[in-house]
Structure 1
Amino acid sequence: MSMRDAADGFGRQEAPSAAVAADPAPDWWIYRGVSEPHDGIRDLPPPPPWRSFADRTQEHARSDPQGMSATDGEHARPDGTRGAAPYLAEREEIHLVNMALLLRRPLLVTGPPGVGKTTLAYSIARELKLGPVLRWSVSSRTTLREGQYEYDAIGRLQDVGLRGRFIDPRAQTGAETPEPEPPDIGHYLRLGPLGTALLPWRVPRVLLIDEIDKSDVDFPNDLLHVFEEGEFTVLELARLRQHLTRVMTADSDGWAELTRGQVRCHNFPVVVMTSNGERDFPPAFLRRCIRLEIRRPDRRKLFRLLAAHLPDLDAASSSACATLVDEFLRRQEQDGSELANDQLLNAVRVAQQVWNDPGERAMVVDHLLRPLNEG
């Protein structure tokens, strides 16, 4: 076969696609699969409330080193708080959150994916004006040290070497060249989410330890020791034996002063640990936590959830809501499907645009309500 024949054959195979592309495009499409660039992005509707980033305040506010009080050793709270999505807490959940606050105990939140475990932490931080949430995502390789602090020893050594490469004028006259001074260690040491939460803030910070059930088997007990003591030592600073050291924090552009390398809390942080229930925890760990189980929402709560996130639903959209809620619950209860609440929110959001087209309705259900446990 010649190259021209192959090219002609390829062109014939593409003809059906061209015919499909020539079909009228739905009004809500922004990307249309055409070859010519266009300005359709200007017609993009506003984002769903749970995906809007334009009106949130600064995610990580600056920690002013002058906020350290000379009398009480406390930090001023940063001003920025990430906008939290509405969390519809049940009465029992509110009780347990308040128990954890009263007892200064970690809150272990268990439940299937997508029921709002993470959202609860942001809801607490926003309602109580506790500043940006310090989020620590856990994996099987996570260590306690990563949450406490990170020290870039290699970067510091490289900077020492770079300083030594500059030619000192005294070297040309035979004078002894002094050794370059090592750069300030504080520029290479950053407190992690746990370390930042344990600083002596005037009001507690919210520390979210996400998916703790994915951690190594020893991680919960390691974490428990720090929670019981409310402090830890930065070993690299302790060896220097200098009184005050200014180090970076987990907040963007945040700095804090440590005395002899000690990180010691004044108010125990509001600790929210989430778990998908994939493992058991040791009794010593559990007895020091307030345990909260978030169950799958029923029909009433799902409608409350939709009303909170999509308050502008019209009559046609309300009909789509009822159908999608029923299908959402049917798949969970009868088929054993794992579905997250935000899948329903996404489905209703798209259904507002396409519900009058039976073919597009089917695509909404098939793709946006696809079970998480389906391969």
Structure 2
Amino acid sequence: MPWKYFHANTTQPQGMTQPPEPPPWRQFLPRKTVDGAEDERYWKDLHQLAAQDVRSVQRGQSFRVQFDAQGHSDIVDAVNAAIHLRRPLLVTGLPGSGKTSLAYAIAYELQLGPVLTWPITARANLVDALYRYDAIARLQDAQLDKTRQDSPATEEEGDLGDYIQLGPVGTAFLPSRLPRVLLIDEIDKSDLNLPNDLLNLFEEGEFEIPELVRRKRQRGADSTDLTVEVRTADPDMTAPVTNGRVKCCEFPIVIMTSNGERDFPPAFYRRCLRVKMPSPTPESLLPIVRSHFATADPTGWTEAETNLTAIIGDFLDKNHRSDRATDQLLNAIYLMTRNDSPTEAEMKRLQDLLFRRLSEAD
């Protein structure tokens, strides 16, 4: 069968029904260990959540990639290689070049549920992205409900799961027959140690929740498996965690974006596939613009489309390497396609405002 799962064809999403076989050195939980009926319910709920997120659907539908004269794209090849090899994909490129939208396009075309997003800041740490345990809330609830001390142990264990919530990264590594799409956005803004913290997770595909591991040990080695329902990063959804350990069955499709503001350790690069989003050209921007304005008012859009070439020429510099984001171009075209659009003279002044270079000081 064809090796490509992702084609960047968001007009007719085919979905992923069965992932490819993993390399021998990238095998995690066997697929047969996933409960089929439970997994089917899980994906049914995820598809409903994804369909309700109109903005994410629109981001996936409007994504476009540049193909060469032979119909090839480095972006499409890199995504499919990452799916087969079970490796994270580090995507670099100019701001606004579509790095983040790539994750939404993958999730939409392959029908893999909502994108799990972890926006990186200088204070971001891996533990919070894996799970959070609200010990204070549990203590406060225990003080309000003095009868809890008379409850059986099984009920107490069930209550413990109410105070544990998996983060976006932790949710992405839940065992499932299909991979989730995990977006780690702007990883170059992270603390210097974060890339190294990710190495073991990417290599082993598992992590543990100490609060649940401790509970299992308290029950003794001869006790039965301890399964606790915990909340996930998906709204109103829970998942079972057995013996405090989360291990993936299918490694998630991890998209890490970077603006190229820093280098990463060689060990981190070794575990990733790397690709750069191409700089925009007039030929590549036309389909992007049309996809965003597919539902625009026909009258205003017909008039504006005749001026697209001139607007895109103003947006790009002579060498087509402008440090401007595609959002700026879309903002200008939106104003032009309104029924109460600015006059030509006003539009020229607005372009000076809207097309300011990202590197330009105030």
CA distance in 2, matches of 1:245, 1:355: 57
Q: 1:201-240 counterparts in 2 under 5 A?
A: 201-240=176-215
**RMSD value over aligned CA atoms?**
2.3
Structure 1, unaligned stretches of length 5 or more?
A: 1-68, 167-177
1:229–1:359: structure 2 CA closer, same or farther, 3 Å change rule? same
Secondary structure of the 2:178 match is coil
TM-score of the superposed pair, with normalisation by structure 1:
0.73
2:95–2:259 Cα contact (<8 Å) kept? yes
Per-residue deviation, 1:337 = 5.5
1:4 aligns to what? none
Secondary structure of the 1:184 match is helix
CA distance in 1, matches of 2:291, 2:229: 44
2:62 aligns to what? 86
Consecutive aligned runs of 4 or more in structure 1 exceeding 6 Å deviation: none
1:59 aligns to what? none
Q: Bigger radius of gyration, 1 or 2?
A: 1
Q: 1:117-132 counterparts in 2 under 5 A?
A: 117-132=99-114
Per-residue deviation, 1:73 = 4.3
Instruction: Confirm or deny that 1:304 pairs with 2:287.
Output: yes
CA distance in 2, matches of 1:325, 1:317: 12
CA distance in 2, matches of 1:179, 1:347: 63
Per-residue deviation, 1:314 = 4.4
TM-score of the superposed pair, with normalisation by structure 2:
0.76
For 1:198, give the aligned amino acid: F
1:338 aligns to what? 323
More deviation in 127-136 or 88-97? 88-97
2:133–2:164 Cα contact (<8 Å) kept? yes
Per-residue deviation, 1:371 = 2.3
Per-residue deviation, 1:180 = 6.1
Q: 2:90 aligns with which of 102, 108, 111?
A: 108
2:335–2:342 Cα contact (<8 Å) kept? no
1:85–1:119 Cα contact (<8 Å) kept? no
Per-residue deviation, 1:308 = 2.1
Q: Which has the higher contact order (CA 8 A, sep 6+)?
A: 2
Write out per-residue CA displacement over residues 26-47 of structure 1, whole angstroms, 9 at most, x where no aligned residue.
Answer: xxxxxxxxxxxxxxxxxxxxxx
Write out per-residue CA displacement over residues 125-153 of structure 1, whole angstroms, 9 at most, x where no aligned residue.
Answer: 11111111101111111111011100000
2:282–2:309 Cα contact (<8 Å) kept? no
2:309 aligns to what? 322
Instruction: Confirm or deny that 1:271 pairs with 2:257.
Output: no
Secondary structure of the 1:372 match is coil
1:190 aligns to what? 165
Q: 1:37-116 counterparts in 2 under 5 A?
A: 72-73=34-35, 75=39, 76-77=42-43, 78-79=46-47, 80-81=49-50, 82-83=56-57, 84-90=60-66, 91-116=73-98
For 1:350, give the aligned amino acid: L
Secondary structure of the 2:307 match is helix
Identity, in percent, stands at 45
Write out per-residue CA displacement over residues 237-262 of structure 1, whole angstroms, 9 at most, x where no aligned residue.
Answer: 11111611110000001101111101
1:244–1:257 Cα contact (<8 Å) kept? yes
CA distance in 1, matches of 2:162, 2:32: 23
2:61–2:108 Cα contact (<8 Å) kept? no
1:338–1:294: structure 2 CA closer, same or farther, 3 Å change rule? same
For 1:163, give the aligned amino acid: D
For 2:310, give the aligned amino acid: T
1:160–1:180 Cα contact (<8 Å) kept? no
CA distance in 1, matches of 2:143, 2:305: 67
Structure 2, unaligned stretches of length 5 or more?
A: 1-30, 51-55, 67-72, 220-225
CA distance in 2, matches of 1:70, 1:163: 42
Q: 2:116 aligns with which of 134, 138, 153?
A: 134
1:373 aligns to what? 359
1:9 aligns to what? none
Per-residue deviation, 1:186 = 0.6
Per-residue deviation, 1:162 = 1.4
Aligned residues: 293
Per-residue deviation, 1:342 = 1.4
